[in-house]
Structure 1
């Protein structure tokens, strides 16, 4: 996905001093990597596609980096298309866990429904 197609940035979070996550208004998450040489974050082409992403955290375990995303989707009506208003009573909330592999490619480890997913 081309970054210009992802929409504007809705929020940011530092996963560690090495990575920075940008959440677009469309719900995609772009991961940037810090270079100590240039002292800047750089785009290395990792976008975790998603809809309704509202929060992102990261952690390292056994020298592997994991990214946890919280998704909250709200609907006008269960039979209707997703809306962006975010204030309706009916919706889905879930958490997804990704492993950022050696080639810096995220692979989905698990996903599960979670009330309060936005509080990841």
Structure 2
């Protein structure tokens, strides 16, 4: 198991639109950065502990109030050529609802991205 967590740029898919990125198979990893597919960081155990703890805390707080918490595979459009897959996304009660499937264009009320230490600072 490698502890390499730096993110490297790839051009394996060339320039992609948000719609093309959203249509990639579920097992195709990556986020869209300036039209390019970027490899995702490989989370370690501590990262996953933090994400699951926060998800439980948000779900517990939202219980009986409405709203919901989404996981890390939802694809969000954040700019014309940028798409992200945050660790958690939270929609509060009374707000809009994202689509059940496909690219999400409605911003969540809360986005969580757990940053793990890494050997090099990579601009994404």
Band the TM-score falls in, shorter-chain normalisation:
under 0.3
Q: Quick check: which one's strand share is greater?
A: 1
Give the structure, 1 or 2, with the largest relative contact order (CA under 8 Å, sep 6 or more): 2
TM-score normalised per structure 2: 0.22
TM-score normalised per structure 1: 0.22
Q: Quick check: which one's helix share is greater?
A: 2
